[in-house]
Structures are given as structure tokens and as C-alpha cells.
């Protein structure tokens, strides 16, 4: 793999671990505010992001590229509401989408067909990620953050589980 792609994938590994950390913080905010179901939703999201990071990690080794593990900045913890958590989540996911698109641009410029094939999984995954945040925000806004509606939505959020994709 060419150096420019290796460098950017190494950065992406950090971003994916950062995403996990961010969603852990969001889950904790939910728990502190009595939304146990949303906490569980974010723990699933946390596991997904960890899986993403490891998928990149494994791929780098498969291609004989050097993995460089780095640290990252503190995630945001001061949210103003449940809707605010999801608004910030949407913002973060659209940033990640732009990162995946950048990786795909580089792989395409490099004519690295194997990497293009590998990255396609993430292109599709980001469509799902953005949709799951957006649709949850829509539901939160629909029912509001106090009362029976949010109580049921919280219960529904708890049903989301992490199932690692086969490959």
C-alpha cells in the first residue's frame, strides 16, 4: 500500500477508537439522566466503533503495512439534552463519512483495487450510521424528552444489540 493511504488509515484507526470513546461518554450522559435504554444503545455503538477500528487494524496487517497506534483528545461530555447528544452524534458521523470518502479518494488515485474493495464496506456502513442517528433524533423530537413517549422510546433503544458482521 502506498504511504499516503497507510498514513490516512492509521489516522482513521485513531478516529474510530475516538468514536468509541465519544459514544461511551454519550452513553454515560444518558445513564446519568435516567435513560438506561439509550445508554445501552450507545454501548452497542461503542462496540461497533471498536469493531471498525479493529477492522482497519487487521486490514493494515493483512497488507503488510505498519500500524501506528496514537492517542486522541478528550470527547465532549457537556451535553444540554438527549436531542443535543444525537445532534452532536450526527455531526460526528458526517465527519467520519468525509474521512471514509477521503480514504476512498486516495485508494482510487492510487489505483489500489484491493483497498477500494475493502473501503466499500465502510462507505455502506456510514450510510447506515448516519441514518440510525438521524432517525433516533427524529423520534426523540417527536415524543419530547419528558413523559410516557420518551419512556417507551428508551425501552425501544435498549433492544439494539451488537452483532459482529461475518466478514
Residue 57 near residue 70 (C-beta atoms within 8 A): no
Q: Does 55 bind Fe ion (CB under 5 A)?
A: no
Site string for Fe ion, 1-40 (x = CB under 5 A): ---------------x------------------------
Sequence-ordered list of residues with C-beta below 8 angstroms from that of 21, at least 6 positions apart, any chain: 72, 75
Q: How far is the CB of 140 from Fe ion (least distance, A)?
A: 18
Asked if 41 contacts 160 with a C-beta cutoff of 8 angstroms, the reply is yes
Rounded distance, CA 122 to CA 128, Å? 10
Question: Minimum distance between the CB of residue 53 and Fe ion, rounded to whole angstroms?
Answer: 8
Is residue 11 classed as helix, strand or coil in its secondary structure? helix
The yes or no reply on residue 92 touching Fe ion (CB under 5 A) is no
Residue list 114-143, contact with Fe ion (CB under 5 A): 129
Q: Which residue is nearest to Fe ion (CB)?
A: 52
Q: Does 52 bind Fe ion (CB under 5 A)?
A: yes
Q: Which is nearer to Fe ion, 95 or 151 (CB)?
A: 95
Neighbours of 71 (CB within 10 A): 7
Q: Which stretch binds Fe ion (CB under 5 A): 2-10, 33-41, 52-60, 106-114?
A: 52-60
Nearest CA among 6, 124, 3 for reference residue 57: 6
Interaction site with Fe ion (CB under 5 A): 16, 49, 52, 129
Amino acid at each position: 500500500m502506498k504511504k499516503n493511504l497507510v498514513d490516512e488509515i492509521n489516522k482513521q484507526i485513531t478516529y474510530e477508537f475516538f468514536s468509541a470513546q465519544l459514544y461511551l461518554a454519550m452513553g454515560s450522559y444518558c445513564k446519568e439522566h435516567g435513560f438506561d435504554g439509550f445508554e445501552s444503545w450507545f454501548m452497542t455503538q461503542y462496540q461497533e466503533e471498536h469493531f471498525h477500528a479493529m477492522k482497519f487494524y487487521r486490514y493494515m496487517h493483512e497488507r503488510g503495512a505498519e500500524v501506528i497506534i496514537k492517542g486522541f483528545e478528550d470527547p465532549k461530555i457537556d451535553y444540554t439534552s438527549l436531542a443535543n447528544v444525537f445532534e452532536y452524534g450526527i455531526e460526528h458521523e458526517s465527519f467520519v463519512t468525509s474521512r471514509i470518502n477521503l480514504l476512498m479518494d486516495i485508494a482510487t488515485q492510487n489505483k489500489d483495487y484491493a483497498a477500494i474493495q475493502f473501503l466499500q464496506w465502510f462507505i455502506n456502513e456510514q450510510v447506515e450510521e448516519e441514518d440510525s442517528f438521524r432517525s433516533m433524533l427524529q423520534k426523540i423530537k417527536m415524543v419530547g424528552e419528558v413523559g410516557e413517549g420518551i419512556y417507551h422510546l428508551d425501552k425501544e433503544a435498549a433492544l439494539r444489540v451488537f452483532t459482529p458482521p461475518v466478514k
